[in-house]
Amino acid sequence: MIEAIILAVLIVAAAVAFWLPVKKRIDLITSGKSTLAFDDFGRRLGRWFAEVVFQSTVISQRRVPGFMHALVFWGFIFYIPATLHHFAEGFGFSLLGHGVVFRIVSQVVSLWSVLVLMGILYLAFRRFVMRPEALGKHLSATSGIVAVFITILMLTYLFGIHLFPPDSPAYKINWWVHTMTILAFAALIPHSKHLHLVFSPLTTFTKSFRLADVRPLDFEAEEFGAVALKDLSTHTALGAFTCVECGRCQDNCPAYQTGKVLNPKQLMLDLRQGYLTKPADAGVLTDEILPVEAIWQCTTCGACTYQCPVGIDQVVPILELRRGLGAEGEFPEPMTALMKNLERNGNPWGYTQNQAEEFLDTHEYPSYDGQEVLYWMGCLARYDVQYRQVSLAFTKILSAAGVGWGVLREEKCTGDAARRAGNEYQFQELALENIEALNAANPTTIVTTCPHCLRTLTEYTQLGLNANIRVVHHALFIEELLASGKLQLTGGNGTCAVYHDPCYLSRYEGKAGCDAPRSVLRSAGVNILEPRRTRETSFCCGAGGAQLFNEENQGERVPHKRTEELLATGAKEIAAGCPFCPIMLRDALAVKDVEDVQVKDIAQYVAERLG
């Protein structure tokens, strides 16, 4: 009886020690702007099972440590009935009985105890002996304590089942060691990174299906972006307390990997510290929570978000904070020309509409008037001398396939660079003009050669674009033409090219954005070489997030690092599917004095193989 009372008191004490700090963090999270998303419940549930229960992201991105972590996680799921039985035993009754059910459960849990021991010992060895950079320079005391706790739990369970007789003093001592370890573990969780055990299932379930998803600001409601902690979204706050500090984002961030200040892992940890130590109205970029320069180094490539095993989107707070700075006109100096050109001429470089008109007239581009496809050219296809060759190649493909097409002569920049730079007001001005023209044209399908235009046009539905209009990248559209037999190509000549995956096509569009370009290139007779980082794990060219219009003045240049990876394949041609990437890669090739390597778009390879 006395032991049962002591046990009850200890359980209550551990529950209070667990709940009070968790409650504080829940209050901080729910003070954020916006609400968590629970729409499309079935799809979210399927993703939740894949990423949380089956640990798909954890395993796929780091196979060995990921699998070992999964063993520990799965072991604790199997431990639930055994743990409930254990505490019931302390109050004098048996939850599982002493028959067949108990024997089956104890054998299964015993097996998992061995697997969990194997997993936790490997993870401890990796953290404290191998010490990869991603896990941090300093040894984590709480990580060491947790590893010890888990080891004790597994051993005491095995001892209690297989070593000590149930009526022996050793069994009783072992039982209490097991009990106290569980309760101490519960009290420790809220004060360590292992709080992700509580929050990550919710973070993963409620994360957007769209990478770097920010909703339009409502200027009439006086929304002007994030300045203080309270201005950040609820999911961002949730992510700050979910971060498991694994460093996968850090390992894949092009800014951090080229010596910049920005570290997406540290960004989330700094936000967490800010939430815990600063008032809600504390300025994020002025109260020493985050360094301002880090915010402007992000290429919005999404590598961090793609890698995160606990559902955090690190790009979102960066975009939220850029919008807060943008509302005050606080852009990096090199970006001021971008903003002026967009305002005066409707494109980032200040070209005049007459220059586009001259190109369209010279090459007899038809205006859109109900044809099968509206070809959204994008600024580079309308104005840039080199990229116009891609536009001509693509329109040649459409005509060869018998596809009726036309363009909007009044097309303006989608506003991609303005939005990623934080100038939401300018983005919406451009967007509303384009939306009016697009809704009036009412096409069934829009095809674009620019993944940045593709992403931004799909965002237009939040501002009034007809949601029934299909927007597709030219690689996917060409793949469809080939599959349907509308497009016929002659045999290739065995050209070898390394394919560079654009971030806004591979990660933002997912598997289809990786498969379609390769399928099209193979159909054009190209032998594809793959760089070290490829498909969804591709390394950014450095142009996204409006960085094409900014300056890299710290560390190695991102496109230089990527170009080295591409050149390492030995290819003499680089295939791309985005207008920004060739600009960055050609610049890097010139700096490296490499003259015998060409950069070509997917459409150019196909156009060369037309019968």
Q: What is the residue-wise DSSP string for 135-150?
A: G-SS--HHHHHHHHHH
Report helix, strand or coil for 437.
Answer: helix
What span, in angstroms and rounded, lies between the C-alpha atoms of 259 and 257? 6
What span, in angstroms and rounded, lies between the C-alpha atoms of 77 and 83? 10
- Reference 527, options 575, 595, 578, 589; nearest CA is 575
What span, in angstroms and rounded, lies between the C-alpha atoms of 59 and 360? 50
Q: Which residues of the chain have pLDDT under 50?
A: none
Per-residue confidence (pLDDT) for residue 35, from 0 to 100: 84
Please, what is the Cα angle at 544 between 444 and 286, to 5 degrees?
125
For residues 546 and 325, the answer to whether their CB atoms sit within 8 Å is no
Number of other CB atoms surrounding residue 34 within 10 Å: 12
For residues 474 and 505, the answer to whether their CB atoms sit within 8 Å is no
What span, in angstroms and rounded, lies between the C-alpha atoms of 437 and 183? 63
Provide the whole-model pTM: 0.94
Q: Which residue type occupies 503?
A: C
Per-residue confidence (pLDDT) for residue 492, from 0 to 100: 66
Per-residue confidence (pLDDT) for residue 98, from 0 to 100: 79
Residue ranges of the alpha helices (H) in 402-531?
Answer: 416-421, 424-441, 451-459, 474-484, 503-509, 511-523
Find tokens 């290429």 and name the residue: 299
Q: Which residue type occupies 416?
A: D
Please, what is the Cα angle at 492 between 489 and 495, to 5 degrees?
140
Please, what is the Cα angle at 175 between 172 and 180, to 5 degrees?
125
**Spatial CB neighbours of 39, under 8 Å, sequence gap ≥ 6:** none
Per-residue confidence (pLDDT) for residue 94, from 0 to 100: 85
Number of other CB atoms surrounding residue 305 within 10 Å: 24
Q: Which two tokens mark 167? A: 């009526």
Crossing angle of helices 100-125 and 141-162, in 10° steps, is: 150
Q: Which two tokens mark 289? A: 């929570």
Cα–Cα distances (Å) from 578 to 381, 416, 446, 536, in that order, read 11, 14, 16, 15
Per-residue confidence (pLDDT) for residue 34, from 0 to 100: 82
DSSP structural state of residue 502: P
DSSP structural state of residue 546: T
CA atoms within 13 A on the CB side of 479: 17
What span, in angstroms and rounded, lies between the C-alpha atoms of 348 and 346? 7
CA atoms within 13 A on the CB side of 131: 8
DSSP structural state of residue 333: G
What span, in angstroms and rounded, lies between the C-alpha atoms of 190 and 142? 11
Between the two ends of the chain, the Cα-to-Cα distance in Å is: 90
Q: Which two tokens mark 152? A: 């004790």
For residues 234 and 33, the answer to whether their CB atoms sit within 8 Å is yes
DSSP structural state of residue 127: I
Q: Which residue type occupies 430?
A: L
**Spatial CB neighbours of 388, under 8 Å, sequence gap ≥ 6:** 359, 381, 382
